[in-house]
Structures are given as structure tokens and as C-alpha cells.
Amino acid sequence: MLPLQGVKVLEIGQNLAGPYASEILGMLGAEVVKIERPEGDDARGWGPPFHAGIACSFHAVNRNKRSIALDLKDKAAQAWLREFLRGQDIFVQNMRPGSLEAFGLGAEAVRALNPRLIYCSLHAFGAKGPMALKPGYEPIVQAFAGMFSVNGLAEAPPARVGMQVLDLGTGVWAALGCLAALQRRHHTGEGCTVDTSLFETGLGWMAQHVAGFNESGRQPPRHRTGNPKLIVFQAFDTADGEIVVAAANDRLFAKFAAVLGHPGWGSDPRFRTNADRIAHRDILLPLLEAAMRTRGSEAWSAALEAAGIPCSPIHDLAAVTAHPQTAALGIMQPMPGYGLEGVGLPVSFDGERPPVRQGAPALGEANAALGAPLPKPR
């Protein structure tokens, strides 16, 4: 039995953040119904690549759902939706600020219909404040939250993080908030309103940088692979490639120095502690870089792993998806109904990962089954 079996979720979501939140709940066993505009979620067209006429990015965050195509400007559709919401446990939405309120589907109105409902909204900049009604996409909010400022090469312009870390992260926070609200409802019998946003997620991911800035008043330096607070914690060129090394404490640094053939560096007063290494980074890093270039990546990996020093080659997607560790975890799962495989939920229960029970739904495939009015031709 999956943890959320029997929980009913309605999603009015688009793009990534809202759909990912409800997909997490669906992967955990909830029954998820996705409401889409008559023309469908924009993300259906976010390709190439496409599979079965649907963008692969849409497949990735819309599994274990049923789709209803609904024109919310239609009074009959609004009436059906309000009645349907009476039987739901969770409502997830990330529509443009104010749009659902215009149809009488804001949090206050909907929770008056169903006091046990958990109404979860994913915003760009937050539920309140001077920017509450401002829309925003991933790169906009990454830039606003300061994430560009700590990412990229020191000598290059600031750069965005190369994945949808705010969209997907906000989806995780939304799902976590819904689960906490379900637990509270178990005790109180009442639902609540859950709010999160891409901006809050960005600030959350930046917490360590913000704490350091509040103490020092200095902007953290950018580093392509490293960490301004830790040495050794970065990629090095080898004789035939690159390898990331994380000798992230004084004991591991001493082992690393020994593997490099320079055991004295571990007791050198300039390098003995992390603070010492940071203070003398301009001396230490060239020494480490020169030593690492003397052997190939495979040889260094073997030597470092034998010494218990965390390290890794820099994989591309072909390498990581084909790796035996990926296979052993069973995290790559087929999408029923499609010849496509995707990443499953990154959590297991009693050693079992929740399965993908259904691939991404066709637009409006559940209208008839759930008695929803069909959109009128335009």
C-alpha cells in the first residue's frame, strides 16, 4: 500500500512547479486529477524532444495523473469544478496571480466550500508583499534571489544554475507542505492554506551564503566547481580529463596529501586546518593542480577511493544513466503506455520505490469518466 492511497488531489497547474508538486503526491499513491485549459498545459509543447507528440519535459512531471480539459470561463465548468472540489483533499495550483480568484476559485472561496481542503499555491515571489502579483519564470527568480551571483567562473559573468532547481524545488516544498497539512488535519479535522514560491525556495537554497554574508558583509566568490568555504572541494584537471575531489575536512586533506605524494602538506601550518587552507589558497591550489595533472583520471579515482577520499568523474547523461549504481537503485522506471523511461521518485519505503502507475495523460482523457463538461469549440 502506498502512503497516500485514498488521498484525492486536484491540480490546476502549468509548466513545472505545480505539476511536479502534484506528481510527487501521485507517486506516493494519491489520486491526481489535472485540470488543463482546452488547448492544454503549455508544457505539452516544450520541446523538442517529443515522445508520442508530447514534450518529454511534460512526461517527466505529469505521471500518475488523469487529465480534464476545462474552460474556466464557462459557468457550467466553474459549477462542476466547485462541486468536484467538495470531495477533494488537496488542491494544488500555480496559475498566474489573481486568475483563479477571478473565477471564484481563490483559497477563501474554495475552503468555504470544503473546510477540510488543503489549498496549496505555488507563487513566483510569494503570497504577500509588493511583488506578490508579479509573475516569474525560473531564470527571472534565480537572478532576483541572488543565485546567479554565486554561480559560474570567477572571471566570467554570473550564470544561472543549469536545471530548473527553483521550479522543482518549489514543487518539493509544496508537496512537503501538503503532507504536513494532512497530518495537522488528522488532529484538527480542518484543512489550511499552504503557500510557497520560487523566490522562497531560492532564498532557502542560498541560506549558507546569506549567513556568511550577514556576518562578513562580503559577496561570496564564484568558483566553477568549488566552494569558497572549503578546500579541498572541487574539480581538478588530470592527465586525461577531470575529476572532482571532496577532501572536505582536515583528516581527509591529510590523506589526500599523502595520496598525492606530499604527506607533509597535511601537517604544514599553512594547510593544517580548513581555515589555514582558505587563507593560503593561492599557494595551495596551484600545488594541488600540478600534482593532479601527473596521472590520469582512472588512476587517481582508484587511488583516492582506496584511501577513502570521496571523488567522482564528471559524468554526462549517457554515463550516469548507464552506470551500475543507477541500475542498482532501480530509479529509472518505464512510463506505462509509452516507450519512454524516466526518473522515479527519489525515496523508497521498506526498500521499495513507488512505481509509475500511469504515464502522462492525454489532454482531456478523463472528462467523460468524471462527468466534466467538454470545452466548447472555439
Three-class DSSP category at 166: helix
For 360, phi then psi, to 5°, come to -55, 140
Three-class DSSP category at 35: strand
The x, y and z cell numbers of residue 43, run together, are 508544457
- In 3D, which of 174, 349, 312 has the Cα closest to residue 238? 312
- Asked about 250 being catalytic, the answer comes back as no
Three-class DSSP category at 38: coil
d(CA 85, CA 115): 11
For 244, phi then psi, to 5°, come to -95, 130
Strand partners, 236: 243
How many residues comprise the chain? 378
DSSP string, 219-265: PPPP-SS-BTTBSS-EEEE-SSSEEEE---SHHHHHHHHHHTT-GGG
Residue given cell 577531470 in the structure block: 242
Q: Please tell me which residue in 41, 42, 74, 167 is annotated as part of the active site.
A: 167
Residue given cell 570521496 in the structure block: 310
Question: Which residues are the active-site residues?
Answer: 167
